[in-house]
A and B are shown apart, each in its own frame.
Chain A
Amino acid sequence: MTERIYTLILGSSENGALLLIEELRRGGYDPDFLMVDEVGKVAKSLVVADWDIIISDSSFSKLDVSATISLLNDFDKRIPLIVVSEDFGVSEVVDLIKSGVSNYIPKGELHRLLPAIKRALNESLDVEGDRPIDFDLEERNKMMMSILEDVESLHNAAEKEREKLYLAISAMDEAILLFDVDKKVVLHNGSASRLFGGGADSEITVDVLSKYRWFPLEEIGNVLSGADRFDVDIILSKEPFSAVNLISVPIGGEGFLVTISDITKERELIRAKDDLITTVSHELRTPLTMIKLFFANATAGVMGEQNEKMRRAIDRANTSVSRLATLIDELLDYSRFERGAVQISLQGSFVGKIVNELSILFNPIADSKNRKFKVRVEVGDEEIDLDEHRIHQVLSNLIDNAIKFTGDGGHIELLVKDDDEGMNFMVIDDGEGIAPQFLETIFDRFKQVGRTYGPGIKGLGLGLAICREIVEAHNGRIWAESELGKGSKFIVRLPRSASPAGDDAQSGKDEWTLS
């Protein structure tokens, strides 16, 4: 059995009204309805019929709903009013309920409409029948109000948190820009305003940003389409030096956050450190040169005959000087790599030539130390793109290490073979091997682990770190495989046609210089 229900619908959308009617029918009501599309017509419709319920559609504004409530009060009509809307915030809903609206249904939750109507009708019956409002109802209203007050205070607390957050953002030295998905600036702090020209309160628009040539307007938005981070150091000017670091990160599909921090001081410190290393290294070279010359003169007999004891002492001193010179080279090399001062220049080089040179260099060294060094090439004399001088340096370092860490009579092999991923240069020895826990870290700087050291073979632990820098600058990979007691294998894999790292998206972090 259906129940007739006189329904006044406030709204201008016929489709919206039809949806509501449908819902009422589905709930077993037989709705007799009138739709009014503006608040001016509400008064008239209140006179022409006794409505059971008023439902305001989302096309009816909050102001119009308030006006309707006033009208109901003026006419002394206690007709339940239910608001169906899609865009009211918590505080607005609280206002509505306080002003006398029976219920609020978010448009997406239309299934809650029928229960709300039933409840509203029951309550209005109680009132209409002029029966004294029963205790339960009064209690319920009180509870309702206290829940609403809780909601309101939670809302206020959230507002306060938001304000605190905003204050914190405002106080930050970093410039912060929040962009929406359309790349529009929706929030920025005072540092950002100062950075982009205006006073602390000036507006920042994409137009303003586009006037700053260094600002990567295109790239920052890449995080909207998959990239999880865009991070770049930008040199703004060389004299006087100033630089910033810019990071863009996505925020859960709602846009992205850009922070820009001043890294001038850090970069100046790094530069000062590099300058110090460079200066000290070069200052050390001159006295070293003299010491070396002096020993060489003594050995050559420039200063007359020397006995066996003297000769041995001079030999040892000479070795120490060479070691000192190598340490300085390592330090200088590493510092150059760290600040990107070393450029890899790729050119077609033949595998055969590289291998031959190494063979000529290391055969006598290995022989003199009673080690066997051999070269095995399992590819044709292919030409690949590499920086010959630097790759020679890498392989020399690996072979030199292998000779050092292999005992008397040990075997060292340089094996060249290719696979799908590139050309592999492997330095294999049958020495003591490296403990598994050290395999990962041996390429870190200042790390010297896992091998037993004999006298006179200490270093700064920069050799392998430099090797890694060089190989990675070729977009290649270097790693070690080893088993304790069975020897070690160092593999350098170079792509066949390399582009220097940094030319493509593979490099993690770029540096831009504004020229």
Chain B
Amino acid sequence: MKVHILIVDDEGEYIEILRERLEFEGYELDSALDGSSGLQKMKSNKPDILLLDIMMPGQSGLDVYREMLGDPDLADIPVIFLSAFGSELFGDDKVLIKDATFLQKPFDVNELITAIAALIP
């Protein structure tokens, strides 16, 4: 069975370019353009790995992550943050994201693929 990845990011075009590559690598990619629809998709079809943007209109990636950690069904999904902000900008939230993988945009897609491979159960 294909590894099921969910990406939550408000940039549709970026998702499409990434989709081409990840599907080429043999993954199955589902996407959501904002936090709340991302959470819905997680609940209806739990992904193996979540790629999460941080700065999004409405719920931020950190809000989404907080909500996931509070939900026993979602708390165990491995998360890779993909953000234009450096991880050090997040102050107290640094503690929150310390268990997650963090890649700063523009990231090297090979690093992303390595990170995904490392998280596959």
Binding site for B on A (CB under 8 A): 281-282, 285-286, 288-294, 296-297, 300-303, 321, 325, 332, 342
Contacts and interface: CB of A to CB of B under 8 A. Distances in A.
A282 B109 contact: no
Contacts of B18: 293
A286 B109 contact: no
Nearest to A288: B106
Given A282-B85, A285-B84, A297 B106 contact: no
Interface stretch (B9-17, B39-47, B66-74): B9-17
Contacts of A288: 105-106
B88 A286 contact: no
15 contacts: A281-B84, A286-B11, A286-B105, A289-B84, A289-B106, A290-B14, A293-B18, A294-B17, A296-B108, A296-B109, A297-B21, A303-B20, A321-B106, A332-B86, A342-B88
A290 B84 contact: no
Given A300-B24, A302-B21, A302-B24, A289 B14 contact: yes
A297 B20 contact: yes
A300 B21 contact: yes
Interface in B5-43: 11, 13-14, 17-18, 20-21, 24
A321 B109 CA distance: 13
The binding surface of chain A is classed by DSSP as helix
Interface string B63-103: 00000000000000000000011101000000000000000
Interface of B: 11, 13-14, 17-18, 20-21, 24, 55, 84-86, 88, 104-110
Contacts of B85: 282
Contact of A290 (B13, B88, B108): B13
A296 B20 contact: no
B21 A293 contact: yes
B110 A285 contact: no
A293 B18 CA distance: 7
Find the residue from B11, B14, B106 having the highest chain A CB count within 10 A: B106
A135 to B, nearest CB: 93
Contact of B17 (A285, A290, A321): A290
B18 to A, nearest CB: 6
A282 B84 contact: yes
A297 B22 CA distance: 10
Contacts of B11: 286, 290
A292 B107 CA distance: 8
Contacts of A325: 106
Given A286-B105, A288-B105, A297 B88 contact: no
A290 to B, nearest CB: 5
B14 A286 contact: yes
Contacts of A300: 21, 24, 109
Contacts of B107: 289, 292
Nearest to A342: B88
Contacts of B88: 342
A342 B88 CA distance: 8
A276 to B, nearest CB: 15
A294 B19 CA distance: 11
A342 B13 CA distance: 33
A303 B24 CA distance: 10
A278 B21 CA distance: 29
Contacts of A342: 88
B105 A289 contact: yes
A296 B21 contact: yes
Contacts of A332: 86
Contact of A296 (B13, B14, B84, B110): B110
A323 to B, nearest CB: 12
B44 to A, nearest CB: 28
Report, nearest first, the 4 A-B pairs whose CB atoms are least far apart.
Answer: A285-B84, A289-B106, A288-B106, A289-B105
B20 A302 contact: yes
A293 B109 contact: yes
A290 B109 CA distance: 10
Given A297-B17, A302-B24, A282 B55 contact: yes
B120 to A, nearest CB: 19
Given A290-B11, A290-B13, 17 more contacts: A282-B55, A282-B84, A282-B85, A288-B105, A289-B105, A289-B106, A290-B14, A290-B17, A292-B106, A292-B107, A293-B14, A293-B17, A293-B109, A300-B109, A302-B20, A321-B106, A342-B88
B7 to A, nearest CB: 12
Nearest to B10: A286
A419 B21 CA distance: 52
Contacts of A289: 14, 84, 105-107
